[in-house]
Structure 1
Amino acid sequence: MSDELADNLRKYRRAKGLSQEQLAHRAGLSVGPVRRIEQGDDGVRMETLHVLARALGVKTSDLMAAGAPEPVKLDDPNGQNLRELRIALSPAVSLADTVAPTGDEPDLRNLQRMTLDSAVLYYGDRYASVAADLPNLIRAANDAVTYYGSGDEHSEALVIRSQALRLASQYLTQIRQYDLAYGAAREAIADARAAGNQLAAASGVGGMCWTLIRTERFDEAEDIAISTMDLVEPKIMGATPDQYATWGGLAMEAAAAAVRNNRPKEAKALRKAAGTAAKAIGKTHKNILCHWSMFGPVTASMKELEDYMIGGDARSVVRKSQTEPYLQEKTWKQLGGPSTNDGNRYHLDLARAQVRSGDPTAAMEELSRLAGLAPEWFRHQASAAVTFEEIVKKRRTLTTEMREVGSRLGVLA
């Protein structure tokens, strides 16, 4: 991507009549990153592109371009660790006739229970157990869909397989296996649509949006979230919490894509829509098989803080974390708290805001707490590593606790 990125940045900078120094000043950066990018440096962070896009008044995606891929490590451990899951998600195909279903009739109720159990493990930071269970869960769901060739049981089996695939997509996105995650999300949406379950399909779109955002496909994520919102918009009267939560969740995904793509006006409107849906529910709504999260006023407020962080306003993140009613734990006792993942992500954003607003000690306390609370989730968070590196730059020596956290993140040997 480096040569095309360099050309794009140079083109937009010159179109604005800016020197490298002037662009850096407008973006709040030193001139070094601008020079390195225009010289073809491969080490640019996405966050730096966000800042430069804002300074130039263009979408982040306008700066990005495809380029030659970097070599893949020959000894990538995930090639073996995910072998069984990869086989289950993408089985080999031949020209032979499909084998007719054999064996006992599937127990759909038990299969649904297995899917829920795996979801609970995922949100409980039990990634090793999730990885071990998913291949068998997906194979069992495939068998059920094949066994019931038509009728209500077939539709039910399709929805269960959609839920299992959605869980696989969430897990794979979390551990940065994006191509596999995208394939699982696509099949999850297809199954839900084939079963005629619009909310499950819309929830699957929300999951795909997350994968697209994580791979910097901001335009597509915003587009599919908004188009799906139009299809499942709740009626003014008589809408269920599931309908509000699905629609509001899509609004949050669209907003997340828009703000990362330097579209703050659109992001603000979408956050407002999510807040409206959250207020209509009134408190945290939980249905992890349908939404794979919890949704309500607390979640909507937490997600809104991401926009301030991406916009470079760290002080507002810290201030709102102390003053916004929905972000106080005493409020959670009345309205219900966030999901484990959403809560952890919020505290990770808070840590980053704290170090950038001059409080590295508080930031380190947040990282240490998260490392102990959700170690499997924590070690896959790239932003945690960035935050840790920023803390280290402000310290002359590292404590034993800091070294342990850095080692867990793969930042320190």
Structure 2
Amino acid sequence: MSASLGDRLREARKRAGLSQRELARHSGVSYSLITKIEQDERRDTRMETLHRLARVLDTTTTALLTEPAVDDPSADGHSTPPQWHGVQDALTDTATDVAEAPTLRGVQELAEAAVRAYRSTDYDALAVLLPGLIRDSHTLAEITPQGGPLRVRALTMAGRLMTQTRQYAVADTALSRAMHYAPDTPFAVAAVDLRCWLLLRRGRVEEVLELVAQWADQIEPRFPRATPTELSLYGWLLLRGAAAAGRDNRPDEAKGMLRLAEAAAVAAGRPHQLRQLGFIHTFSVSAVRMQRAEYAMVRDRPDDVLRLSAQVGVEQMSPTSGSRNRHLLDVANAQTRTRRYGPAVETLMSIYGNAPQWLPHQRYARDIVRSIVERRRTLTPEMRQLAGVVRLPL
């Protein structure tokens, strides 16, 4: 597109009849940041910031976006780091002529080892495990029908890891292959769920909403007779849709999807994990509550985030859970926005202690640390350590 983000923001502001200072006052976004965006000096503007501006300008976040990926490193021409070359090569290698055929048990054990490594945020181990798992599962799928589901699990794990570490082009390849090889609808939905996450991280919220609408209609459960698996698949899609609608300033859609997701969680009964389909996280009422807290943060209501977080029960979750720690980033952000810097630092340090390889990949964490650093005259040793962990530029 010829128009830049700055051009679109300037035009939307003019149509709303607001000066830059008036927009800053009504949105809570600093005047200097608005000026930099309009002058195209900031090309990495957070979705949360765009949402706050869109809300005041009575438009959608999508309308302000000029590029398909606001925070997509691949859009800047970044190449895949050497650590992930093995995964990338395995995804493009479809040869099945091997000297020694893999066994079903061996591939199953390798898949479980990959899940354990991901759960413990041991991405270095996954970089070693995944290439072999992808190749062996592909070969096995050509030998026996039992290998088909394992191949999709391997591909969705690759898509999950590459999305987590911001290797979006490689993630797209993995998830496209997962959808192609999915043996049935549940496996296809598992890949769609991860594709929605990938698109969310790239700022492509309209595509998420289209995917959710398409697949949720296909699998909408009949609540009286629906199985926990059907309810969980439906619920996860709705949570992705709510995240997209919230970011795109569509509050009615976001609230509606959250209500339906909570109804699905209640109907499913106990927390349900779709491990056989490659899901890592558990669908539950707590998962819905974490999404409600995220939506409150998008709406710039930090007090609501802290209130909702008290109902989540993070102390009962695995300390390396990505969804748990993503929720705690919302908590740290809410604490920062309410000037509770000490608790915010404690929250961030607890995440780092439990998931040291996970935190450096979170741009959200870097933004929170930047906000703390900019608001404090002097930094504590913990603040300086966090600045180094998230690679905060000087």
TM-score normalised to structure 1 length: 0.87
Aligned to 2:93: 91
Paired AA for residue 123 in structure 2: Y
Partner of 2:284: 296
Offset at 1:208?
0.3
Q: How does 1:227-306 map to 2 (within 5 A)?
A: 227-290=214-277, 291-306=279-294
Does the C-alpha gap of structure 1 residues 30 and 295 become closer, same or farther in structure 2, counting only changes over 3 Å?
A: same
Alpha-carbon distance between aligned partners in 1 of 2:273 and 2:153, rounded to the nearest angstrom: 15
Please report how far the alpha carbon of residue 394 of structure 1 lies from its aligned counterpart in structure 2 after TM superposition.
3.0
Q: Is the 8 A contact 1:279 1:297 kept in 2?
A: yes
Residue 121 of structure 1: aligned partner: 117
Residue of structure 1 in register with 2:330 after alignment: 349
Which residue is equivalent to 1:390?
A: 371
The answer to whether the aligner puts 1:411 opposite 2:385 as a matched pair is: no
Shift of 1:15: 2.0
Q: Helix, strand or coil: the match of 1:312? A: coil
1:33 aligned partner, one-letter code: L
CA distance in 2: counterparts of 1:400 and 1:35, whole angstroms: 33
Deviation digits for residues 63-82 of structure 1 (CA, Å, limit 9, x no counterpart): 11139997646xx6x43221
CA deviation after TM superposition for structure 1 residue 105, in Å: 4.7
Q: Deviations over 1:39-76 (max 9, x none)?
A: 22234522321111111121111111139997646xx6
Letter in 1 for 2:229: D
Q: Within the alignment, does 1:110 sit opposite 2:110 as a pair?
A: no
Deviations 1:215-249 (A, max 9, x none): 01100011101211111122223322111111100
Q: For structure 2, list consecutive stretches of 5 or more residues without a partner in the other structure.
A: none
Further displaced range: 199-208 or 396-405 = 396-405
Quote the residue 1:96 is aligned against. none
1:318–1:350 Cα contact (<8 Å) kept: yes
Question: Is 1:375 matched up with 2:376?
Answer: no
Q: Percent identity?
A: 32
Identify if the C-alpha distance between structure 1 residues 116 and 411 changes in structure 2 by more than 3 Å, giving closer, same or farther.
same
**Aligned residue number for residue 347 of structure 2:** 366
Q: Assess, with a 3 A threshold, how the Cα gap between structure 1 residues 337 and 229 changes in structure 2: closer, same or farther.
A: farther
Task: Report if aligned partners of 2:68, 2:204 keep a CA contact under 8 Å in 1.
Answer: no
- Distance (whole Å) between structure 2 residues aligned to residue 29 and residue 278 of structure 1: 36
CA distance in 2, matches of 1:67, 1:288: 32
Residue 303 of structure 1 deviates from its aligned partner by 1.5
Is the contact made by 1:368 and 1:405 (CA closer than 8 Å) also made in structure 2?
A: yes
Query: Are 2:3 and 1:15 equivalent residues in the alignment?
Result: no
Q: Distance in 1 between matches of 2:314 and 2:126?
A: 31
Residues 410 and 58 of structure 1, relative CA distance in 2, 3 Å threshold: same
- Name the SS of the counterpart of 1:66 in structure 2: coil
Q: How far does residue 407 in structure 1 lie from its aligned partner after superposition?
A: 1.1
| Alpha carbons of structure 1 residues 372 and 18: separation in structure 2 relative to 1, 3 Å | same
| Cα distance in 2 for residues equivalent to 1:71 and 1:258 | 26
Q: 2:301 aligns with which of 306, 313, 328?
A: 313
* In 2, Cα distance between equivalents of 1:126 and 1:402: 24
Deviations 1:189-217 (A, max 9, x none): 1111xx2x111111110000000000011
- 1:173 counterpart = 2:174: no
What root-mean-square deviation, in Å, do the aligned CA atoms of Structure 1 and Structure 2 show? 2.4
* Worse-superposed segment, 382-391 or 19-28: 19-28
Kindly indicate whether the alpha-carbon contact (under 8 Å) linking 1:212 and 1:220 is maintained by their aligned counterparts in 2.
yes
Following TM superposition, the consecutive aligned residue runs of length 4 or more in structure 1 with deviations greater than 4 angstroms are 67-73, 102-105, 336-339
Deviation at 1:373, TM superposition (A): 0.8
**Deviation (angstroms), 1:348:** 1.3
Output the CA distance in 2 between the equivalents of 1:282 and 1:316: 26
Matches within 5 A, 1:105-254: 105-146=101-142, 148=143, 153-154=144-145, 156-192=146-182, 195=183, 197-254=184-241
Question: Does structure 1 conserve the Cα–Cα contact (< 8 Å) formed by 2:86 and 2:127?
Answer: no
CA distance in 1, matches of 2:37, 2:305: 29
With over 3 angstroms needed to count, the CA separation of the structure-2 counterparts of 1:397 and 1:35, relative to structure 1, is: closer
Give the drift of 1:406. Answer: 1.7
- CA positional deviation for 1:369: 0.9
**Alpha-carbon distance in 2 for matches of 1:384, 1:363:** 11
Q: Distance in 2 between matches of 1:31 and 1:139?
A: 52
Counterparts of 2:217 and 2:233, CA distance in 1: 12
Query: Which one-letter code corresponds to 2:266 in the other structure?
Result: K
Secondary structure at the residue paired with 1:239? coil
**How far, CA to CA, are the matches of 2:75 and 2:165 in structure 1?**
19
Task: Compute the displacement of 1:3 (Å).
Answer: 5.1
Residue 210 and residue 217 in structure 1: after superposition, are their counterparts in 2 closer, same or farther (change >3 A)?
Answer: same
Amino acid paired to 1:116 = E
